[in-house]
Amino acid sequence: MRNLLLLLIALIFSSEVISQKGHVEDSLIIKNIFDAALLDGKSYDWLDYLSNEIGGRLSGSLEAELAVKYTEAELNKLGLDKVWLQPVMVPKWTRGVAEYAYIQTAPGISSTTNICALGGSVATPDGGLKAQVVEVSGIEDLEKIGRAGIEGKIVFYNRPMQANLINTFQSYGGCVDQRYAGAMEAAKYGAVGVVVRSMNLRQDDLPHTGSMTYGDTPVNLRIPACAISTNGADYLSSALKLKPDLAFYFKQNCRTYEDVQSYNVIGEITGSTFPNQYMIVGGHLDSWDLGDGSHDDGAGCVQSMEVLRLFKKLNYKPKHSIRVVLFMNEENGLRGGTKYAEEAKLKGEKHVFALESDAGGFTPRGFTVDADSANFMQIKSWTSLFEPYLIHYFEKGGGGADIGPLKEDGIVLAGLRPDTQRYFDHHHAASDTFDAVNKRELELGGAAMASLIYLMDTYGTKTEATPIKN
């Protein structure tokens, strides 16, 4: 409370604080933004099309290309100053025929279980892979068990997401190394495959895919990796207690092709005062293939498109150039985000602010901000403008994967932070579908983003020459 008091006093006596008049004007403009989003929003219709007419948009897929064309066409309808495609080469990995797996506890006694290949995994041999299983609760267990206990076996990573963390992304962060590096690490001990408990806080039958790496593992030593549903993981773990020598069989048919051409989709309203200073808002257009990618990250794309649509609709003429960027290939390569940053640097485009939405289309709770103190304090000082919309959380934290490559001194990165409780019920699974998105929650997120961009455009970012006095 003392710190809060000092902060308030600092703000009240700071010359940088928004004047009372400015505050009232900002409140009215933000009210107009929220009204327009809730009464006449477009994001939900766009998402309906992306999800239900196109579907899952894995990089290099036909669906990803359709999504590029569709969003380019929709941006072209908005009367922006420029809309263009930015070419980027992306990896192409396909799942192939659906995976199949069973747990065999005795000859002739087996039960099937739901799995899916992890993104980037190699296939099993044509006849599938069958081996005994060693259960671990993380990569750190491999060394304790040693090669003798692992060689020739399937390693089953079963550390669950921690349920008593309030921010479920923290729970995810505490487990996802099993998925990302589990196969690479297990291969070092002679494992023949890995099965990873799905990154899901719910007990259900859905496997959740996601990216993995083989690092510099030679091609001939790469082992197949799959995710198993949370119910399946619990069953397998129980069965192992009764029958430590049970066999796990799985077959997956995934394949990596040569990189293919794809695109970031970009639209711009050119700034009236600082046309060469860029503020961008974006999400990623690619998704995993099991669901239709509505939350991850169709929501972020249509919310970002909505920001520019709202500005045009409300006849707001920004001082800075505002771009919507729909990044390709966040999920399994980050090529789009990397490419965008490279080109910005090559062209000497000065980016001052980047905002990403990539945490689901749920009720917005606030923003995380990756910036220096002066810029963070400025954004924090806007809290009261967001409180009427029950948006209250302004903390330091990362902006988002796609905008990460833009990071350099002076730029402000921010991420929309929606409510996280339901996110991992859907993330990378067949349940990431349009019906799991609530129209109002999606629209509130877009309005929150538009409001933050409006404020950043109006007040600008702080540079070292003009720090907040605090």
Binding site for a copy of itself (CB under 8 A): 1-2, 4-5, 8-9, 11-12, 34-35, 38-39, 163-164, 166, 168, 201-202, 363, 365, 384, 388-390, 392-393, 419, 421-422, 425, 438-441, 444
Distance of closest approach, residue 228 Cβ to a copy of itself, in angstroms: 20
Q: Is 101 exposed, middle or buried (0-12, 13-18, 19+ CB in 10 A)?
A: buried
- Angle (CA) 39-317-448 rounded to 5° is 45
Q: Which is nearer to a copy of itself, 38 or 89 (CB)?
A: 38
CB of 34 or CB of 157, closer to a copy of itself: 34
CA dist 35 → 23, 26, 310, 317, 420 (Å): 18, 14, 10, 18, 24
Nearer residue to a copy of itself within complex by CB, 213 or 383: 383
Distance of alpha carbon 276 from alpha carbon 346, whole angstroms? 14
Nearest to 51 by CA among 403, 374, 297: 297
In the complex, the smallest distance separating the C-beta of residue 205 from a copy of itself, rounded to whole angstroms, is 14
Strands 247-251 vs 255-269: parallel, antiparallel or unpaired: unpaired
Q: How far is the CB of 45 from a copy of itself (least distance, A)?
A: 11
Provide the 8-state DSSP code for 221.
G
Cα separation values, 327 from 190, 270, 449, Å: 38, 20, 17
Cβ proximity to a copy of itself: between 18 and 236 the closer is 18
Contacts of 44 (CB under 8 A, 6+ apart): 302, 437, 439, 442, 443
Q: How far is the CB of 398 from a copy of itself (least distance, A)?
A: 18
Residue 259 or 441 with smaller CB distance to a copy of itself: 441
User: In the bound complex, what is the minimum distance in angstroms from residue 39's beta carbon to a copy of itself?
Assistant: 5
Using CB atoms within 10 Å of the CB of residue 120, give its burial: 0 to 12 exposed, 13 to 18 middle, 19+ buried. Answer: buried
Question: Prior bond to 297 cis, omega within 30?
Answer: yes
Specify the residue, 115 or 437, whose C-beta has the smaller distance to a copy of itself: 437
Minimum CB distance to a copy of itself, residue 230 (Å): 12
Contact partners, residue 106, CB within 8 Å, separation at least 6: 243
- Of 2 and 144, nearer to a copy of itself (C-beta) is 2
Shortest distance in whole angstroms from residue 242 CB to a copy of itself: 24
